[in-house]
Structure 1
């Protein structure tokens, strides 16, 4: 599973508008955002990596913050090389996987509409809630609308949640599938709409759409115990470890 997940990450970054190949690394640049959480690199699984190639990777980032995300087992010697090059570990997270056989769709909470945003106003409403939850990773501006729309048009999933009185309450997304795999990300619920089961409903809505489109593995990472419990209720199970590291 580790190998399939890492290959899907390589494919996702390779499809970024300004992607760069640098030796055994792919740098997933997207000029619509300067966030290091969007513009980062990952290793090609199984590739031999040297200190010189790490130095070339740092140079390839230019003015951007050198940063990597990857499944640990796909490049077991890389962390040592990165630390020796001045990188610092940001976090280690287990990733969770859901398949059609483990998927469990909870009932959607009453008083909310879950739908696929299409218009600029709908996309802006969803992104605004994500911005409140995640900060500068999501910013409601034309560039971010374009980034989300490109993902949607190429086969990625977007789901927005709106309350009965017309307020945007949450949103979530999934990357363009590769080899039957897609990452679920950006699951957000506005502060005043939390503790009602909406996060699980959004996660399930994104995941069910992936499976309906032929995806057989959906994966994500949980940012804390609360979200971990939400995702487990939907059918996601801990499977492997990913590393976040930057300089």
Structure 2
């Protein structure tokens, strides 16, 4: 599974507006945002890596005006961390990812008074982005056009986006997935605004996105938990622990 996950990350990075191959790495850049969580690189599994390759990668980030940063499944490039640390990189996080299959998915009911909706207009996409931003503590009232466009492009390529909406039209939260690749898709951005928490909505959104992926033919969904509470939510809907991923950056 580690190898399949890493290959899918490589393939998805290559769909970024400005994707480049530099030695054993693929770097995906988006000119509309300097967020390090969107602009990053990952190694191609099975390709040898040298210190000179790290230098060339840092140069590529400098040319794009972005902070050098990588995300990858550790078992697929076990020698890479040492090379990056030697080049002045610092570990941000080391997370265990979880996977779900159709046989393990356990979809809870959507809380009363709420519905899960796939956005069809940019206005609805903007509302979902605002709800996610508020839940994550980021600029709730000003969803960027770039963020809305990224969501739209992901849907056009087969990614799933779901928003949770109350009966009176208030958007309570949302979540999404990357477009499936090699039968895999990452579930991410699961967020619930404060006043709608503790009702099981996060689990319902997670399961709803995952179920739609499986209905579209995906074999596995994967994600990472940001803390113990979200870990328990994901395990309840059928995600089980699997391999490890590293987040590491320079500067």
Pairing of 1:15-30 with structure 2 (within 5 A): 15-30=15-30
Report the equivalent of 1:204: 207
Q: Distance in 1 between matches of 2:71 and 2:134?
A: 23
Report the equivalent of 1:92: 94
TM-score of the pair, normalised by structure 2: 0.96
Please report the RMSD computed on the Cα atoms of aligned residues, expressed in angstroms: 1.3
Alpha-carbon shift at residue 100 of structure 1 (Å): 0.6
Q: Distance in 1 between matches of 2:179 and 2:111?
A: 28
Pairing of 1:1-247 with structure 2 (within 5 A): 1-62=1-62, 63-135=65-137, 140-247=143-250
Q: Distance in 2 between matches of 1:137 and 1:47?
A: 40
The answer as to whether partners of 1:37 and 1:137 remain within 8 angstroms in 2 is: no
Per-residue CA deviation, residues 155-204 of structure 1 (Å, 9 max, x unaligned), is 11100001122111010000011010000000000011111000000001
> Any idea what SS the aligned residue of 1:61 has?
helix
- Worse overlay, 139-148 or 36-45: 139-148
Q: Distance in 1 between matches of 2:71 and 2:138?
A: 18
> Any idea what SS the aligned residue of 2:213 has?
helix
TM-score of the pair, normalised by structure 1: 0.97
Q: Distance in 1 between matches of 2:30 and 2:180?
A: 18
Alpha-carbon shift at residue 233 of structure 1 (Å): 0.7
Q: Distance in 2 between matches of 1:137 and 1:204?
A: 26
Which stretches in structure 2 are left out of the alignment for 5+ residues? Answer: none
Number of equivalenced pairs? 247
Alpha-carbon shift at residue 133 of structure 1 (Å): 2.8
Q: Distance in 2 between matches of 1:66 and 1:135?
A: 25
Which stretches in structure 1 are left out of the alignment for 5+ residues? Answer: none
Alpha-carbon shift at residue 134 of structure 1 (Å): 3.1
